[in-house]
Amino acid sequence: MPQDRLLDALDAHVETLESDGTAKGEELIVTGVVPGTDSRAPRFHLEGYGEREFLRLNSNSYLGLAFTPELLEAEEAGARAFGVGPGAVRFISGSFSAHRDLERRLARFHDREEAIVFSSAYAAVLGSVVPLTTGDTLVISDELNHNCIINAVRLSRPARKVIYRHLDLEGLERALVDGEGTARRALVLTDGIFSMRGDHAPLDEIMALAASHDHRYPENVVVVADDSHGVGAFGPTGRGVEEYTESPPVDVLIGTLGKAFGVNGGYVTGDARLIRFLRESAPTYIYSNPITPGEAMACTAAVELVDSSQGRDLLGRLRSLTKHFEEGLTRIGVETIPGEHPVVPVMIRDTARTRAMVQHLFDHDVLVTGLTYPVVPRGDESIRAQINADHTMEDLDRVLEIIAAFPN
Ligand SMILES: Cc1ncc(COP(=O)(O)O)c(C=O)c1O
């Protein structure tokens, strides 16, 4: 049956995204990777760009682990031992020792009783927030939370929801006070690191607020933190924002295995009874395949590496590179938001100039992500530079030169 009227409607939708400036546009296709050296980060070949070699300053692979021999060997050993795919969801016959080893290792890394692995952090957030939200739950969420939290709240059916201004703890506290008597449970949802800006939630203060208003809710105030950009990359030993802010353990900690840990997948860690509940209730866990056994073994190797002196050295290197880049921006008179996280915003504060700067960097073989209105508010337009531990000072100096040469 011809689908012409439907396809016209779909076209109209995409065209609206394009004219609004929110379309993602055509994807760049990586066709090859040139390994890095001591003075040069890995370079990427892109389809349609011949032999040009691009520096990737927009990767979440903060520790640069993608080609680490221990991880490659672990993934290959997993594939050889168990096959390339899990073949079933976890509760049918898709639970391999590789998955359980990873869960135990993640729990130990975060000093929790248990962990549960999902196919991605997105799936982990949906899979935990939706079943934890009953019809008697108040949901309180930071306005700049990641899309996975926003969609999890949309899919949930809370008694009430309150969105507070970014990092506005007074707004959060007011919601906790006002919500008394309207809900049995309060769920406070926050990103750990906010990926657009590289800033972080004060988890220590959020936990203190939760503790002081806990008595108002028969089923507790529950703090859920998605620290996908923090775990592995932030805090003295890579435990993320919790460690950086010296916070007590949040109730539900969610992380990804696809950013600093360099592989793929997501997880939730916490109390053993919470994790038992999620194994029985999280639809994205119960009805969807897990990561492959090979990926799980590579992830375990990644956690092992991060939790070693080699990992701490990499974190130290990542921090020095980040600082070097931030100081360089200041030196050439470019505004940034200072912070230790390897997301370094280059504040341009104008949509046309941001687009032109992204193009200028691309013309000089550097890949960055531009954040323009309406993705960010007018006046906050910026370039999100992401530093990785396999970048080098030479690479970053070159990027600074390219930025400095951008016509005013
Ligand atoms: C805060 C946050 N949560 C979750 C995700 C998704 O992670 P994954 O790719 O593991 O689904 C991202 C990725 O950008 C993120 O920034």
Residue 165 lies in a domain: yes
Q: Output the CA–CA distances (angstroms, integers) from residue 135 to 108, 161, 178, in the order listed.
A: 33, 11, 17
Residue 63 lies in a domain: no
Q: Which residues are catalytic?
A: 195, 229, 259
- Looking at the fold, whether 26 and 75 belong to one and the same domain comes out as no
- pLDDT given for residue 20 in this prediction: 86
Rg of the Cα trace of the chain?
22
Residue 120 lies in a domain: yes
List CB contacts of 355: < 8 A, sequence separation 6 or more.
370, 372
39 Cα: distance to centroid of ligand 1 (angstroms): 30
- Looking at the fold, whether 226 and 302 belong to one and the same domain comes out as yes
- Looking at the fold, whether 185 and 291 belong to one and the same domain comes out as yes
- pLDDT given for residue 333 in this prediction: 95
Instruction: Convert 302-334 to b/e letters by CB count within 10 Å (16 or more is b).
Output: bbbbbbeeebeebbebbbebbebbbebbeeeeb
- pLDDT given for residue 311 in this prediction: 97
Instruction: Convert 139-169 to b/e letters by CB count within 10 Å (16 or more is b).
Output: bbbbebbbebbbebbeebebbebbbbeebee
Query: Nearest CA to 163 among 179, 145, 148?
Result: 145
Q: Tell me if 270 CB under 6 Å of ligand 1.
A: no
Measured from the CA of 123, which atom of ligand 1 is nearest?
Answer: 11
Residue 302 lies in a domain: yes
- Looking at the fold, whether 292 and 333 belong to one and the same domain comes out as no
Q: Tell me if 226 CB under 6 Å of ligand 1.
A: yes
Among the candidates 270, 285, 306, a domain finishes at 306
Number of structural domains found in the chain: 2
pTM above 0.95, yes or no: yes
Per-residue pLDDT tens digits for 62-98 = 999 999 999 999 999 999 999 999 999 999 999 999 9
Per-residue pLDDT tens digits for 225-238 = 999 999 999 999 99
- pLDDT given for residue 332 in this prediction: 96
- Looking at the fold, whether 23 and 140 belong to one and the same domain comes out as no
Q: Contact at 8 Å (CB) between 225 and 250?
A: yes
Per-residue pLDDT tens digits for 32-52 = 999 999 899 999 999 999 999
Segments forming the whole domain that contains residue 126: 69-306
Model confidence at 373, pLDDT cuts 50, 70, 90, reads: confident
Q: CA 378, CA 101: separation in Å to the nearest integer?
A: 47
Per-residue pLDDT tens digits for 244-255 = 999 999 999 999
Mean pLDDT of 286-310: 98
176 Cα: distance to centroid of ligand 1 (angstroms): 27
- Looking at the fold, whether 111 and 228 belong to one and the same domain comes out as yes
Taking the alpha carbons of 45, 46, 51, 56 in that order, is the dihedral positive or negative? Answer: negative
Residue 6 lies in a domain: no
For residue 408, pLDDT over 80 is answered with: no
CATH code for position 39: 3.90.1150.10
- Looking at the fold, whether 175 and 266 belong to one and the same domain comes out as yes
Query: Which of 129, 259, 343 most suits a substitution to test ligand 1, by most atoms within 8 Å of the C-beta?
Result: 259
Q: CA 49, CA 52: separation in Å to the nearest integer?
A: 6
Side-chain-facing half-sphere of 26: CA atoms under 13 Å: 6
Q: Tell me if 122 CB under 6 Å of ligand 1.
A: yes
Residue 166 lies in a domain: yes
- Looking at the fold, whether 232 and 141 belong to one and the same domain comes out as yes
- Looking at the fold, whether 90 and 193 belong to one and the same domain comes out as yes
Residue 5 lies in a domain: no
Mean pLDDT of 263-287: 98
Strands 343-347, 382-386: pairing kind: antiparallel
Provide, rounded to the nearest whole percent, the portion of the chain with pLDDT above 90: 94
Residue 223 lies in a domain: yes
333 Cα: distance to centroid of ligand 1 (angstroms): 32
- pLDDT given for residue 399 in this prediction: 98
Q: CA 46, CA 36: separation in Å to the nearest integer?
A: 17
- Looking at the fold, whether 292 and 362 belong to one and the same domain comes out as no
Strands 366-367, 252-256: pairing kind: unpaired
Among the candidates 306, 325, 348, a domain finishes at 306
CATH code for position 242: 3.40.640.10
256 Cα: distance to centroid of ligand 1 (angstroms): 7
Among the candidates 287, 306, 325, a domain finishes at 306
Please give the mean pLDDT across all residues of the chain.
Answer: 97
- Looking at the fold, whether 313 and 301 belong to one and the same domain comes out as no
For residue 368, pLDDT over 90 is answered with: yes
Q: Tell me if 152 CB under 6 Å of ligand 1.
A: no
- Looking at the fold, whether 37 and 161 belong to one and the same domain comes out as no
Q: What is the DSSP letter of 32?
A: E
Q: Contact at 8 Å (CB) between 249 and 242?
A: yes
3-state secondary structure (DSSP) of residue 272: helix
Per-residue pLDDT tens digits for 126-158 = 999 999 999 999 999 999 999 999 999 999 999
- pLDDT given for residue 204 in this prediction: 98
Atom 13 (ligand 1): residue with closest C-alpha?
228
Model confidence at 22, pLDDT cuts 50, 70, 90, reads: confident
Q: Tell me if 148 CB under 6 Å of ligand 1.
A: yes
Measured from the CA of 60, which atom of ligand 1 is nearest?
Answer: 14
Which strand ranges, in their side-by-side order, compose the sheet holding 366-367? 30-34, 43-46, 54-56, 366-367
- pLDDT given for residue 197 in this prediction: 87
